[in-house]
Amino acid sequence: MHRPFVIAAVVQIASLTSTAPAGAVAPPPIAAQVPAPPIRHIALPGGIDRPPPPAALGTTTDAKVCGAHNVFPLLCRTLVESGGALLTFTWNGNGRYPHVDGYRAYRSVGSKLTLLNAPKTDDTSTAIYLDKSQSAPGTCVVVTAYKGSVESVPTPALCLGSGAVAHRDVLTPSTIRNVALNNVSDSLAHWATALSGTTNTPVSNLFAVGLETSSHGFERWATGLSYDFSPYANRKILRATLSMSVDTTENTGSHTQSCLDNVGTGTARWWEYPGAIEYVKAVDAARQGPDIAIEVTSIVRGWQNGGSNFGFVLLPPESAPYYGCLTFYRRDSLRFEIVYS
């Protein structure tokens, strides 16, 4: 019996490091994944409130601007000329928090935040340096203020693009289709049959990908996503990311690890007729969760370079030990994020 459920979608980017204020020893790079802080001001347990967040996040190569943020101007120029980026921002205290211990910079991709740099400083030095490896074009960052173990909500994201500020858009899918796959022995091209009773319009807050046992062996559940990419055909694409979050996973012993194995591409205009999706594999997406971010820059650049845009296909594993692995994802977490200049 087929499982009756339907689908949904949407999508997101990048990387960074650290430096310390003049005269201090730079800490080692930090690369720890942390859950995304909420976007609103929330009282913490025990009545401890969060400090105000930084504001006016930007980037500069101007030594005078560095000095205004309490960074030694000559050091600023040396750092920037080495190919990195200097993030600048402002911060104002309140009655509970007239001062903070310092600030943290995170890479932002969908709902996933990755700590990049937390220089030991105080609230007077409102700048954070990111080295060349961490500030590649297409990298999107946020900054928080912290006092002890209490941390502010993040700033709005700033996306970097070759020394300038880039743009970030999140696209909504034109069509979403959930399917059960057939013909799995062909590793290059597969046909997927649409499930009985499903439509191109999602009606629930969940969609799924997985490998389910059934009366005729097993079924591979996949999701097709089509997008209108035409507004970006002549843009310089810095980074493109597809991201989502696990709601729950069945029969794996873990409710956080995803059953998504690969993000494929369609090979025909499957949204124009019911019943099937033809696709090829494209980008590895295995062993992630609960927050998932898959870079699909190569796919969208292929669309720009004459390739046909037949959308994405979210693909499950093809064989054991993944039988019975079925992941449900939150519809509101699915994002196709494009950073461009």
Q: Assign residue 116 the CATH number of its domain.
A: 2.60.40.10
10 inside domain: no
260 near 211, Cβ under 8 Å? no
Q: Residues 201, 155: one domain?
A: no
287 inside domain: yes
Q: Residues 108, 230: one domain?
A: no
At which of 165, 190, 214 does a domain end?
A: 165
Tokens of 256: 């956080």
46 inside domain: yes
Q: Residues 243, 290: one domain?
A: yes
Whose CA is closest to 154, among 9, 255, 35? 35
In this prediction, residue 181 carries a pLDDT of 64
In this prediction, residue 151 carries a pLDDT of 93
Q: Residues 119, 185: one domain?
A: no
Measured CA to CA in angstroms, residue 167 lies from 58, 232, 240, 281, 337 at distances of: 13, 12, 12, 29, 10
Q: Residues 100, 131: one domain?
A: yes
At which of 165, 184, 219 does a domain end?
A: 165
Q: Residues 140, 182: one domain?
A: no
In this prediction, residue 138 carries a pLDDT of 92
The string of pLDDT tens digits covering residues 58-82 is 987 776 777 777 776 677 777 767 7
Q: Residues 188, 326: one domain?
A: yes
151 near 37, Cβ under 8 Å? yes
Tell me the C-alpha distance between 294 and 288, whole Å.
9
At which of 165, 185, 209 does a domain end?
A: 165
15 inside domain: no
297 inside domain: yes
In this prediction, residue 254 carries a pLDDT of 66
- pTM value surpassing 0.85: no
Which residue range forms the structural domain that includes residue 291?
170-340
Q: Are strands 217-226 and 175-181 parallel, antiparallel or unpaired?
A: antiparallel
Q: Positive or negative CA dihedral for 197, 273, 173, 247?
A: positive
Residues of the chain with pLDDT under 50: 1-47, 183-203
The number of distinct structural domains making up the chain is: 2
The string of pLDDT tens digits covering residues 116-140 is 987 766 677 888 888 888 888 899 9
Q: Which helix (H) or strand (E) holds 117?
A: strand 112-117
